[in-house]
Amino acid sequence: MKKLLFVASLALISAFGFAQNNPKPSPATEVKAKLENGAEISIKYGQPSLKGRTPGKDVEPMLNKIWRAGANDATVFETSKDLKINGNTLPAGKYALFLLQKEFGATVIFNKIWKQWGAFQYKEAEDALRVEAKLANNSESAEKLIYSISGNGMVQILWGNLNFGFTVE
């Protein structure tokens, strides 16, 4: 009996260890930039793939619903200095970045509770800043969720045929 219990314990430990080494379907990804004003910004997010799904129909963002703007944990936006986001002040620090897609654009939300799983714990009362993002359609579909930060401070979020954009300075 002790031998059987020992073997079962080893099997469980091995299975747990193996599961921990498997890559996540939406791996953690980060994009960084240093702006002209010297501010360093980073965006950390889980990078999902479409796998034949359509944003707004089969997968987020859904119209008028808060989206973590990535997969797994909430997307984290961090800045080393105070910034202007679309002309509005965001103090230096870490924030959860959420999107609220609308019919002709999106609201980008910087929430003070940066460490949270998805958007399940989201509380509007903790928002530090909300700005409007422009929405454009890509001619080519982005299979993976992609964030980019240009040298002039344009942040773009590409997902399927969607292209959300806002400026940081």
pLDDT in tens, 64-84: 999 999 999 999 999 999 999
Please indicate, yes or no, if residue 119 is contained in any of the structural domains. Answer: yes
In a domain, 10, yes or no: no
* Residue-range definition of the domain harbouring residue 163: 25-167
In a domain, residue 94? The reply is yes
Tell me, yes or no, whether 134 lies in a domain.
yes
1 in a domain, yes or no?
Answer: no
Count CA within 13 A, CB hemisphere, residue 111: 28
Query: What letter would DSSP give residue 143?
Result: E
Confirm whether 17 is domain-assigned: no
Is residue 5 included in any domain, yes or no?
Answer: no
Confirm whether 111 is domain-assigned. Answer: yes
**Do 146 and 160 meet the contact criterion of CB atoms below 8 Å apart?**
no
pLDDT at residue 3, as a whole number: 52
**pTM above 0.75?**
yes
Number of compact structural domains in the chain: 1
